[in-house]
Chains A and B, each alone.
Chain A
């Protein structure tokens, strides 16, 4: 398999705080890869290292066949980065921004103009092209920002939280754009804190938590990891809730002491459910009712990234599958 991104043992600390703690990743050419994680997990740091903006303290990474530290010039010519903050000039028009990026990528005046026109068209910005960016909506800015990253026809595209802060309609539009990019054969590496986004767009998902990759696979594989289903148990009272938690321990996906609801991983079979009931509620007094649900990526995420049970602070109650 031809890999466009290979990272091994990436470590990075900022003023003594370890942000990345041995991150390894593989991204196959022509696929969409999502790095999923909560705020502060280190997603942006991974992107900055892979896009040559930050050097890792330890570990190596190759992007588009070149080392990100030793050969950063070669990497830079083959990638584009669209970060969380719009990297375009407010005081220039959309067209001027794109033409400038084209010239900076080494295109001649005429070629840059043609490319700008093409990209405006493709991202539905032709009408707004000659207006200053300061008058653009959030969604238009993101599209222009993305277009600016594509001027040089990169092989690998990094998108750092491409839909954060967008309204649902702009988000849908952005998803369409990413899907379209993937169809052209480029490799897309995106970060997101939205599970549905990763589920929808990515061929492969890696879950990053506190600087480590805690799981990797397709959305389906990840859901399988916690058994594929979730049994929601309604406890009879607070005391029963505490006893249930103590009994199920590692299988807790989520819990809320206020509503007395506890989600537990299961494979959905009758035998597993029966065994579970027998184990956690031998006298039949702790569970008032139950409901079986298909596990969502949300559940995977919660169980992987250290879900806190609402009303509990102790880390010992947190399940790690």
Chain B
């Protein structure tokens, strides 16, 4: 099969990502707006026991990479809806290679968004108590979750019948972080929501990143975050493979 597929497809994915105006707006402007909005608009009304900017950074990180992954779902759906997929297949380019290219670009774009969130946070008084080891741990957990979201987005892009549908599904999925410890402490929620919030991946990732950045003890949350991410990655890759072959009939 085509061994040479990967590098040109990664280069293509980067080019398409950089020239996708909507996608780049989401990646570069949303982090700034959300960070400012949560801290200055809502922050004053939310009691978390710490300064709100120190509390909310991991939540904004997750919401941004969530929306950012939505762009990837649309991009993948676009590829499958257009004529180019037939050309790739008739050239023996494997679906995995095509999708992987988009996932690599998605991870890169989302990490840039994440860095922007951190930069804006510092500009408005973020004061973490993390040593380099803590930073590294937070970055690694976040990067792994970004990879998971990107694969999930690719799977959504394949399952959706059109770019519009992909956009819709991705939009719904990107609300998942709201039902977590992202913006308000879980203990303030009604019982049913609390159960959902405590047992979903966003909370595990957010709590791990928050604890790392504030120099606290990370504990079992880290393992939950890693397990969730790996599970999402495996399921999405398998699902992508199966769905891709089925779509490509």
Q: Is the CB of A92 within 8 A of B8?
A: no
A53 at the interface (CB under 8 A from B): yes
Chain A residue, CB-CB nearest to B82: A85
> Beta-carbon contacts of B15-39 to A below 8 Å, as 1s and 0s?
1100110000000000000000000
Binds A, one of B88-96, B113-121, B164-172, B226-234: B88-96
Q: Which residues of B (3-17) have their CB < 8 Å from a CB of A?
A: 4-5, 7-9, 11-12, 15-16
> Beta-carbon contacts of A96-113 to B below 8 Å, as 1s and 0s?
100011011110000000
A29 at the interface (CB under 8 A from B): no
For B88, the chain A residues whose CB sits under 8 A away are 104
A263 at the interface (CB under 8 A from B): no
Kindly state the separation between the CA atoms of A89 and B93 in the bound complex, as whole angstroms.
16
Q: Is the CB of A85 within 8 A of B83?
A: yes
B127 at the interface (CB under 8 A from A): no
Q: Is the CB of B82 within 8 A of A87?
A: yes
> Beta-carbon contacts of B68-110 to A below 8 Å, as 1s and 0s?
0000000000000011101111111100000000000000000
Chain B residue, CB-CB nearest to A100: B8
Given contacts A103-B4, A104-B2, contact A149 B87 (CB under 8 A): yes
Q: Is the CB of B87 within 8 A of A89?
A: no
Q: Is the CB of B20 within 8 A of A91?
A: yes
Chain B contributes a number of interface residues (CB within 8 A of A) equal to: 26
Q: Is the CB of B89 within 8 A of A53?
A: yes
Q: Is the CB of A88 within 8 A of B15?
A: no
A84 at the interface (CB under 8 A from B): yes
**Neighbour of A104 across the interface among B82, B86, B93, CB < 8 A:** B93
**Neighbour of A91 across the interface among B9, B15, B87, B92, CB < 8 A:** B15
B249 at the interface (CB under 8 A from A): yes
Q: Is the CB of B16 within 8 A of A84?
A: no
For A105, the chain B residues whose CB sits under 8 A away are 91
A79 at the interface (CB under 8 A from B): yes
Nearest chain B CB to A135 CB, angstrom units: 13
B191 at the interface (CB under 8 A from A): no
Q: Which residues of A (150-170) have their CB < 8 Å from a CB of B?
A: 152
Kindly state the separation between the CA atoms of A103 and B5 in the bound complex, as whole angstroms.
8
For A152, the chain B residues whose CB sits under 8 A away are 91
Nearest chain A CB to B87 CB, angstrom units: 4
For B20, the chain A residues whose CB sits under 8 A away are 91
Given contacts A83-B83, A91-B15, A92-B15, contact A104 B8 (CB under 8 A): yes
| A residues neighboring B (CB under 8 Å) | 48, 51-54, 72-73, 76-77, 79-89, 91-92, 96, 100-101, 103-106, 132, 148-149, 152
